[in-house]
Structure 1
Amino acid sequence: MMFKQSKVFAVSMSIVLSMGLLAGCGGKEEAKKNESTPTAKVEEISGTVTASGSSALLPLVKQAATEFQDKNPKVTVNVTAGGSGTGLKNVADGTSNIGNSDVESGAEYKDKGLVDHIVAVAPFALIVNKDVNIENLTKAQAADIFSGKITNWKEVGGADKKITIVNRPDSSGSRKLVKQIVLGSADFAKGGVEQESSGAMKTAVAQTTGSIGYVDSPYIDAEVKALKFDGVAYSKETIKDGSYKLFGIEHMYTKGEATGAVKAFIDYILSPDFQNKRIEELKFLPATFLKK
């Protein structure tokens, strides 16, 4: 009887050990399988992005560059101004990866392979020194001032004070925008004070008695007075309903389709997170704002 029990016990242990060995082999096989299956890697973005041009768009692009570099530490984004004309020339020549512009590229760039990325809407305003005691200019009055027909504020209901025009250079997209919307076929008057950037324009108007200039909304602060245009103050609502006409569509041009870090940077600016949260904080409006 003892012999039979011992035999049964031996057979049972043999089965248990066999199952353990099989399980161990299975585990090793599964481990080998897992080791041989490659894990998908997320490619890390790296490289240098250069962007130049519009000083009106500069606050947005600089802020986006800071945030993008924080998220992508192997990318360097270098942003400079110089005016929309400079940005367009630089991107067409290959000097910059991105050309920032307040206006569409002209006919001279038709065959340069430029690709347009609309990134924002920028409200602009006519600004005056705080000693100018008017609140509004009609389009006709503004055109006559910038073209030199009106030279004294008393001619538009202000004090007897000489008007000093603060202007941007010919390469400026802001200047082109004001010419298109305000002056039309007329030309800017010769002379006056010329400033290379929107920031310098704002400072010059703030410091020059009787002066007038133009900037987009990120540069407007308590140091200057923003005028109503045709009786309408700039705002999100008045641009949307069409009653305020002085605004620009902001462009970031690339030569050919953007790739690599350049594409990733533009995609970041156009991302819902940046467009819906940051754009208006920076005093711009989203790229799709005027689309129905």
Structure 2
Amino acid sequence: MTFAKKALIFGSLALLGANSAAFAADRLNGSGATFPADIYTKWFAGLAKSGGPKVNYQSVGSGAGRKAFIDETVSFAASDDPISAKDKAKVSRGVVQIPTVGGTIALGYNYPGCNLKITQKQVVSVFMGSIDDWKELGCKPGKITVVHRSDGSGTTAAFTDSLSTFSKEWTLGSAKSVNWKVGVGGKGNEGVSGVVSTTPGTIGYMSQSFVKGAIKAAAVQNKAGQFVLPGFKSGKAALSGITLDRDLAGGNPNPSASGAYPITTLTYLLLYKTGNGAKTDALKQMVNYMLSDKAQAQADDLGFVPLSEGIQAQAKAAVNKISQ
């Protein structure tokens, strides 16, 4: 083989290797929260269409996403509840936590003929099992079947956090998983909404974006005494009073603002502070796209609440902490 041919072959192999490395750097794998799945799907499709990195996101629940992040089997994770100090200590590469969007957790129910308005105390009684007939909620008689998450869930953490402030009857604590006294389980927001949509007499908690078809959202009494439906305006009122801590975590499980929906939460991305290598630029591009005004403006149409200007600015600044 001539020198020229060898040079051509080695040059082609080098080019192929460089292209493969670039291809790998342009592919990101993430997993976690089901709560923001609808808007993340929209955003990642828009990002790819604009020439940005391709993102493969698996909505497997905040708990599973957190484990994958700790095990370093993903490029990033998503969680509806902020990472705990205990879990953060397990990540040797450091953690950059960034809020991406807000959302309301609806009490979705399937009971034809019922226009449900429910007090905070009644919410707790239903999910504790002490109210088990629809007539006790002002609807026609019938058995109430509670539907809850069966997996570790940031949605559950936010929901039970609110229930802990609603009534002393709630004794199950606030966590991604609790020992439910009543009801049936569904995996992910998809699982809970799937059971509710196909089973009359059921009620469950889910991202507002999953309220569709046979599912209706209950008007929940807020701290100001108003019965409020989940939505853009009520979610925005709830999120307006949130102040983030140094890890960019924040919440208000029972906001006092007029018109605020009482079960509203932020959702977060978890990224590695170091060790991102060739994927660093792609990760930054992904997060910056999600935090852009264009992306945030799409939140309302999908049942979410855009970040306030203050939280958005803090989130954008945190992107610079993502390094190689």
Q: TM-score, normalised by structure 1?
A: 0.77
The list of structure 1 runs, each at least 4 consecutive aligned residues, that deviate by more than 6 angstroms after superposition, is none
Question: Percent identity of the aligned residues?
Answer: 25
Q: Deviations over 1:209-267 (max 9, x none)?
A: 21100111211113211000111112322233333111110101112167221221111
Report if the CA contact (8 A) 2:80-2:268 is conserved: yes
Q: CA deviation at 1:291?
A: 5.3
Counterpart in 1 of 2:299?
279
Counterpart in 2 of 1:108?
86
Q: CA deviation at 1:186?
A: 2.1
Structural mapping, 1:145-224, within 5 Å:
145-184=126-165, 185-187=170-172, 189-224=180-215
SS in 1 for 2:121: helix
- Amino acid across the alignment from 1:115: V
SS in 1 for 2:44: helix
Decide which structure has the larger Cα Rg and report it. 1
Structure 2 unaligned segments of length 5 or more: list them. Answer: 1-21, 173-178, 222-226, 238-256, 313-324
Q: CA deviation at 1:280?
A: 2.2
Structure 2 distance, partners of 1:163, 1:288, is: 37
Q: CA deviation at 1:148?
A: 1.5
SS in 1 for 2:269: strand
Structure 1 distance, partners of 2:70, 2:193, is: 29
- Amino acid across the alignment from 1:265: M
Matched, 1:118 2:137: no
Matched, 1:55 2:72: no
CA 1:160–1:130: 2 relative to 1, 3 Å = closer
Q: CA deviation at 1:137?
A: 1.1
CA 1:52–1:289: 2 relative to 1, 3 Å = same
Q: Deviations over 1:30-74 (max 9, x none)?
A: xxxxxxxxxxxxxx884211111111111111111111112226x
CA 1:132–1:103: 2 relative to 1, 3 Å = farther
Counterpart in 2 of 1:65?
44
Report if the CA contact (8 A) 1:148-1:189 is conserved: no
Structure 1 unaligned segments of length 5 or more: list them. Answer: 1-43
Q: Mean alpha-carbon deviation: is it higher for 47-56 or for 154-163? A: 154-163
- Amino acid across the alignment from 2:88: K
Report if the CA contact (8 A) 2:231-2:303 is conserved: no
Q: CA deviation at 1:158?
A: 2.2
Give the alignment's Cα RMSD to 1 decimal.
Answer: 2.2
Structural mapping, 1:220-231, within 5 Å:
220-230=211-221, 231=227
Q: TM-score, normalised by structure 2?
A: 0.70
Report if the CA contact (8 A) 1:102-1:249 is conserved: yes
Q: Deviations over 1:92-151 (max 9, x none)?
A: 221111111111112322322221111101122101113262411111101111112212
Q: Which residue among 230, 236, 259 is the counterpart of 1:234?
A: 230
